[in-house]
Each structure stands twice: as structure tokens, then as C-alpha cells.
Structure 1
């Protein structure tokens, strides 16, 4: 009996010792994370069987080499997919931080870059901020297999909102993926009041609807402006504000072999001339040659295409934008020469992407780079015409007063989420201009578009400002 009691006492002492050690480590982590940390490597784990974080100093040169190696690999991957060479700007980690500081001063925002790399054993996160926080984290509970499963659950849960606007099936995976990808970095983002995230991601994550991720209280889009980039050195991240911009708005409502888009006329007329000045090309005038002629002669800063766009599996030839006369494949889009003169923003308002497909992800994430434009705004999946008109109208209205493109999209998405813009019978409410929709696409009931299905698929690709 005495031996038994001694064993129990020893077990209690060991348990208390382990508990006190965990408390001490947790306290040290909390204290350390309350300030910006420079040149560090952090192991983040949700496993209850091991200490949550292991803190080690990292050599800055090693960190910079890691970023450079990853950027080179992804540059090679995109060049292999598109079968062309892309110009790049090789920057060290320190140079990236300096450039972010310049953008912060010029644009009045606080940007940061996050690289997210799924592997067989963990999710690797790397962060650079303007104040030279260089952070690496390894999320042990989020290997490639588990991450892929949760992403598929998220996409399925969002898709359920098309049939049931009250469905919350998306919420558990949205919360978990947020915990994996962003919660480990929150102390560093909060330390500098970061408000804009450039997300450079590996396979599985390139077509992730980031805006739908949730921290348990609110969506990430309620906290940050978000843009996805193929690689930092492949992205034109210079800040060049253009106060007087013109829009070329194009599209078609009827197609020979694709479903009709009856809301296109209202969408284009709302953009030009109700909200912006520019030119419209609708239906039979919506041809590739007319786009090239208008671009060369008009010098439009924004080109809006309201038509079917598909990012499919396989080579770039399988993905396309549908014009009234023919399809323009993704490998041919560079022939439009939208960089001569340079286009600031290309908008594809009715895209559909083969979510989770590696090739389709390359095409979607590399859209701005392949098109030769500074930024692109595209949707990961098609939503109905009414929802598209609502969000696009709010985006273009917001863009007049919020010149940062990612911020304008974020505000439009929040307005839809918070029901500040909605449809009452045939009228879009919450806009500065009057927008009436055909009864054939709205019905007689009032509608809101709070569910992520209607707004989370729209994303900025490339330069967010």
C-alpha cells in the first residue's frame, strides 16, 4: 500500500511539474509574441501531446535564401505551365520589407506578404512585414492531405449556399483553415496593424476562397484587404495612382453553346455610364478585334469583361474567355497586348474554375501575369446574374472613392455580407445610382446575398493597390 501511494504521489508530482513547465513556456511565448520579432523561426503545433511552440533564432540570410528558393521554384512552375518566360524582380527578404515600407508610405496602407506551402508533413508559413519581421512557422496539424480534405469541405459547404442561403456547412472548415493559416501569424500582423495581405500560395491553396475563412467571430475579409499573387518577384507591386481612369465595359448575354447571362446588359450599363466614364461593347460588338482596337485607341485603364470564362484542367489551351465571335484561350490572352499601353485592372465577372485542380489553379492565379495587366479581379465560381450585378455595382461605386483595388473589393464584399446592398423586388438597394433588374432574373421576392457563395469567390489577383 505504501509503495502504491508513493507511486501515485510521484505521478502527481510529475504531472504538476509538466503542467508548470507548460505554463512557463506558454507565458514566455505570450510575452515574446507581444512585440515585433526579427529573424525568427517558430514551430506552431496544435497537438496536445507536445509543447505548442518551439522558438529558435533564424539566420536572416538563411530565411532570405528560403524565400528566394521558393520564388524561383514557383516562377519555374508558372513558366512551365504557360510555356513562356516571365520577367521578374529578384529581391532579398530585406529588399521586400523595404519595398513594403515604400508602399506603406505612398498608399497609406500597411501591407505584408505571406507564403503558404503545404507539404506531406506540415504547412509552412513565411511572413515579411514593413518593419522587418521575418517569421517562419510550421503547422504540424495541417499536412497536405488534411489541408486538401478541409479545403474540399469548405468549397462544398460554400456551394451549399446556392440552394440554402442559411446553410452554415462552410463554417467548421473555414474556422479550422483560418486557425492553420492565419492564427499563428496574428501577433505579428497585429503588432504592425497590418491591413493588406499579399498571399503567395502553393498547390491546393491557389484557388482557395480566402475571403470566406473565419476566426470564430468574423470573416477574414472583415479584417484585411486580400490579394493572391503567383510569386512576389513575378508581381508588379509598384504603386502608381491614376486619378482619372476610363473603363472599357464589354460582354454578351447570349451564346451558341453556353448558358445565357441575362443580367449582362444591366451590369455593363451600371458600370458605364452610370458609375464610370468609358465605352461599352455589347453582344455582337463584343469581339476580340474590337477589344484590341478600343484598347489601342482609347488607352483604357480598366477592362471589364462580362462573359463566360473557364479555368479548366490541362494546358492553358483548355481555359478560355468567350467572346461573341469565338473563344480566346488562356495561352492566347497575351496576344491582346494589354500591356501596350498598360491596363491597370482586368475584370472577369463570370468566371468558373475547376477548384482543386492543379492546372486550373495555375491558370487562375497566373491570370494577371499572363494577361500582362497589373491586377485582375475574377471569380472562382459562377454565381447567378443578380448576385453578380449587386457585387460588381458596389465594387465600381466603391472604387471611385477607394482607389486601393483590394480595399474597394473588400468593402463591396462587406456591404453584401452586412446587407447594406441587396435586391428588393427588381431594384438594387444601397447604391448611389438607380439599378433595376429584369423581373425574369429576380422574381418577386426580396433577396439578400449574405452567404459566402455570393461574394467570397471574387478575388484580386496580382497588385492589390
Structure 2
């Protein structure tokens, strides 16, 4: 199954299994070769390194986005444990696709930001995408082949008015982000829902008719109840303004790509085969590729990243390559990984 996926995707797949005392890793090449490796590192150590990185990223704004030595040290150690031992089997070209299937605490690792001993982040070395489990590619491949026929249509949902009881403020740059995305999609039929029009009821009513969905809004994460994780939209029309993961599962989508440009939209409950939450909900609702964030993101840096992402897509770049180009471009203006490394592509890389 995983060998067939590697061939179809023309990608190298890396699958990890974290045990109490060892890390097991498999690399499957596009040609179908399978390599296996054991690394002597405990689950506790991997979890501690991941917590260290996530804490540094979450508090980066409080330090004025100055990089701490501890962050660099943890990113390099994770690279030495997770990437360096496999390097001989990984692609030699940065343009080649590398799919990462994490396990356990590795689901929270910001792989794009991992650094080798010379300080190069992983996103500079490979074109990355992710999957919660190898079996996902059986599902997404079918969805990709069944994609929307005819003219491309995009629905952009930006800067909704949050439900009053949510206590959440509107994102200052979300409307500007939506405008920039629409400008980049020239030649595509674009509909923008913003302000009071960006309601949950409107999204449920209209989302099924578009080949691309872009949400510039907050994501609210419920770690203990992953199916209650939600995108924050406007209330009305019989809906409360919280588009929950369990409601997304029930949507019938034909989009080839969904972009969740909000706070921590990629998170959910940590399980044996990855994160249950909004990401998986959109995939099983019919979307082969989902772009999500792993932590609370700066909306100003995100507006730049999304502008570059869609510019690359319009130039014909595959989804994974477009996200890589956008992250590298954003990194040039916002050097701290908290500002450019949050987003990941889950599902089909092309």
C-alpha cells in the first residue's frame, strides 16, 4: 500500500513509529525501494524536545521574535535524530517531494523548521508534505481523480464577525489577506464572503460548489473533544457560527484544495495515527489537500505567506512546491520560524 502510494505520488515517503525506547523509521522511494532504520532515543526524549520547540515558538512574540539558543539547539537535535540518519535514502533535489508520516509526539514537530548542523531548515532541503497515516492516500487519490470538472472556482471566507459569546476579536489582516488571494486568482471565478456575509450558514450552503476554499479566520481547538474543534464564522440562519469538525465531516466537498489560514487549525487530539481534528475532517469530506497551521500565527506574516503561496500556484507550481516557495519567501522577511514555519500541507502534494 505505502509502496504504491510512493510510486503514484512520485515522492519519497518517511513513516515513523515511536516506541518507549526506540524510534523506528521507514523510507519508501518513488522506485519502490524500502529502507528501515532504528534510532536509539526514548519517547520521553522526543516528547521533551518537541515541547521545548513548541514552547519557544508559542512565546516567540513575547521575546520580540529574537531566536533563543535553546530553540536552535532543539531544532538541530531533532534533525539529527529524525532526518540525518535517513539522509542517504532521501531525495537529492530540493524540488523532489518528501512526504512525512509522523507518529506519537512527532505529530507536533514543526518539520519545516528543523535545522541541519549548518543551520539550513528542512524546507530548504526538501519539498514537504504530510499525512496522518499512509492509508490516507488511497482516499485522497480517489478524490483527486474525481476533482471538480470545468472552470476553477474559488470561495474565500475572510474576516467573519465572531459570535459575541466567543470573546474572540476579528483578525485585523484577514480581510486584506482575502483581497490579496482574490487578486492572485485572476482567471478564476472568485466569490468572497467577508464580515457579516461570512456566516456558517453561508459556508455550508455554498462550499460544495467550489474547487478551492480559503478560510482566513480563527480556528478554535478542543484537544479533549477533537470533533468539537471549529472554524469561527458568523452566526445566524440557524447556525451558531462554530463550524465544527463533526459538521465538516458531513459536508459534500468537491474542492481540490482547502486552506485554513487561522490559528492552530491543524491541531486536535493526539492519537496513534496522527491528529484528529479539522484537517482530517476536510480530507474525509472530499478534499485531497489541506493547508493548515500548527500554532497561533501572526496574521501579518500569514498574509504575506498566502500571497506568495497563491502566486506560486498561479505560476503552475504543485501545491507542495508552492507552499515551500511561500515559506522561503516569508522567511526572508520574517526570520523567526514562529512566523513562517507554522503551515503544512496535508494530503496530496500535487
Q: What band does the TM-score fall into relative to the shorter chain?
A: 0.7 to 0.9
CA gap 1:178/1:405 in 2 versus in 1, 3 angstroms:
same
Most deviating of 308-317 and 396-405: 308-317
Kept in 2: contact 1:228–1:365 (CA 8 A): no
CA gap 1:193/1:350 in 2 versus in 1, 3 angstroms:
closer
Kept in 1: contact 2:246–2:281 (CA 8 A): no
Kept in 1: contact 2:267–2:277 (CA 8 A): no
Q: Does 1:323 pair with 2:233?
A: yes
CA gap 1:368/1:215 in 2 versus in 1, 3 angstroms:
farther
Matches within 5 A, 1:360-439: 361-363=275-277, 366-417=280-331, 419=332
Quote the residue 1:42 is aligned against: none
Q: What secondary structure sits across from 1:366 in the alignment?
A: helix
Shift of 1:316: 2.8
Quote the residue 2:158 is aligned against: 251
Task: State the superposition RMSD in angstroms.
Answer: 2.5
Map Cα deviations across residues 361-381 of structure 1 (whole Å, 9 max, x no partner): 322552443433111101111
Quote the residue 2:122 is aligned against: 220
- Select 1:352's aligned residue among 252, 264, 278: 264
Q: What secondary structure sits across from 1:205 in the alignment?
A: helix
Quote the residue 1:186 is aligned against: 87
Shift of 1:292: 3.3
Quote the residue 1:271 is aligned against: 181
Kept in 1: contact 2:14–2:28 (CA 8 A): yes
Matches within 5 A, 1:77-156: 91=1, 96-104=2-10, 111-140=11-40, 142-156=41-55
Shift of 1:228: 1.4
Q: Does 1:210 pair with 2:115?
A: no
Kept in 2: contact 1:207–1:356 (CA 8 A): no
Shift of 1:353: 5.8
CA gap 1:193/1:272 in 2 versus in 1, 3 angstroms:
closer
Shift of 1:253: 4.8
Quote the residue 1:173 is aligned against: 74
CA gap 1:190/1:229 in 2 versus in 1, 3 angstroms:
closer
Kept in 1: contact 2:261–2:292 (CA 8 A): yes
Quote the residue 1:285 is aligned against: 197
Shift of 1:301: 1.1
Map Cα deviations across residues 334-382 of structure 1 (whole Å, 9 max, x no partner): 22211xxx21111110132697962693225524434331111011112
Shift of 1:202: 1.3
Map Cα deviations across residues 289-334 of structure 1 (whole Å, 9 max, x no partner): 32233334xx321100111112321123431111111111111112
Quote the residue 1:24 is aligned against: none
Map Cα deviations across residues 89-136 of structure 1 (whole Å, 9 max, x no partner): xx2xxxx435533443xxxxxx11111111101111011112232111
CA gap 1:192/1:250 in 2 versus in 1, 3 angstroms:
closer
Q: What secondary structure sits across from 2:25 in the alignment?
A: strand
Using CA pairs under 8 Å that are at least 6 residues apart, name the structure with larger relative contact order, 1 or 2.
2
Q: Which runs of 5+ in 1 are unaligned?
A: 1-90, 105-110, 420-447
- Select 2:249's aligned residue among 334, 337, 352: 334
Map Cα deviations across residues 124-179 of structure 1 (whole Å, 9 max, x no partner): 10111122321111100x21100000001111222343233231332111111111
Structure 1-normalised TM-score?
0.66
Matches within 5 A, 1:24-39: none
Q: Which runs of 5+ in 2 are unaligned?
A: 236-240
